[in-house]
Amino acid sequence: MVGLDEIRMAAARIAPMIRRTPLRVSRGLTDMAGGPVWLKCEHHQETGAFKLRGASNAAAGLGRVAGVTTASTGNHGRALAHAARALGIPAVICMSRLVPANKIAAIEALGAEARITGASQDEAFDEARRLVREEGFALVPPFDDAAVIAGQGTLGLEILEDLPEAAAIAIPLSGGGLLAGVAAAARALRPDIRIIGISMERGAAMAASLAAGHPVDVEELETLADSLGGGIGLENRLTFAMCRDLMDDLILLEEAEIAAGIRWLAREEGETVEGAAAVGAAAVLAGRLDARAGPLVLLLSGGNIDPALHAAILKGER
């Protein structure tokens, strides 16, 4: 398990490398949820998503390497490319054909190679492992890594520093690095706080693995919450157990519900977010999540949505 000490050390290490993102109340969602709803606006982060925290913490701990690599659905790759450029080392980001073009372009704009390989996150990971094995690259995993988890956990510290009375945190759930880190920090500081994971119904690997009692393979399907796609790894070392032990509830959403969350946040809150970041608001709108037990924090994890897709969702075409 990753603990509070590691998360606090990560916070000190990455402070010069990231933004402390705002936490603000949502009046509209508060009215619906029966209690205060707060938005942690991590989509305002330097690279548009929370992934910069974990990637920066992991990359800062590397010694002399030929380069860095990872498999990514987009946001972690962009974060690692950003960190690698700051460190002056090459980066190769391996991605499947399902990754949106705007996320690929953002990675290439940072000077990294975006290597498209296979039809799933797992297949992209095979290429990243080959680079480690044959070319001497250092692997920075997108979620199942202690340094990455500790970096993501700094969000939990910020939330409780800004809102000590928070009763629950709703966290987008994919491979589990974000939920594991935030939950570890929050539970260490507030043992009674509720941790709620939210994902999509289409290809939610962590949800299927928790239901099975062990990591399982799940077909990766196209979804508006593309950042939540991909497997958790059959040899998962950390995030499966941490999510199993630290998460109180799990909500799975339909595509129409995710689209409604994106639209609400754009029209009512003025926030442009990707599908993964909209799942908390979507759960409130769908009546699946409330704040009657006390202040609820929704973690808006990223804003790197394709502009054409965002426009189509706002028009009700998706």
| 51 catalytic residue (yes or no) | yes
pLDDT confidence bin for 55, thresholds 50/70/90: very high
Q: How confident is the model at residue 74 (pLDDT cuts 50, 70, 90)?
A: confident
Domain extent listing, the chain: 4-49+145-314, 51-139
Terminal Cα distance for the chain, rounded: 40
Which of 11, 21, 65 has its CA nearest to residue 43? 21
Look at the block and give the residue holding tokens 């190769």.
92
Residue 42 corresponds to which amino acid? E
State the Cα–Cα distance between residues 291 and 301, nearest whole angstrom: 20
Asked, colleague to colleague, whether 4-49+145-314 and 51-139 share their fold, the answer is yes
Helix (H) or strand (E) run with residue 115 in it: strand 113-116
Active site (annotated) includes residue 209: no
Q: Quick: pLDDT tens for 189-217.
A: 999 999 999 999 999 999 999 999 999 99
For the domain spanning 51-139, the CATH number is: 3.40.50.1100
**Regarding beta strands 37-41 and 296-300, do their DSSP bridges make them parallel or antiparallel, or are they unpaired?**
parallel
Least confident of 69-78, 139-148, 285-294: 69-78
- Does this model's pTM top 0.75? My answer is yes
Give the count of beta carbons closer than 10 Å to the beta carbon of residue 43. Answer: 26
Catalytic position from the list 51, 103, 120, 199: 51
Do residues 173 and 27 lie in contact, with contact meaning Cβ atoms separated by under 8 Å?
no
4-49+145-314 — its CATH code?
3.40.50.1100
Tell whether the model's pLDDT for residue 166 goes beyond 90.
yes
Helix (H) or strand (E) holding 4: helix 4-14
According to the model, what pLDDT value does residue 1 have?
87
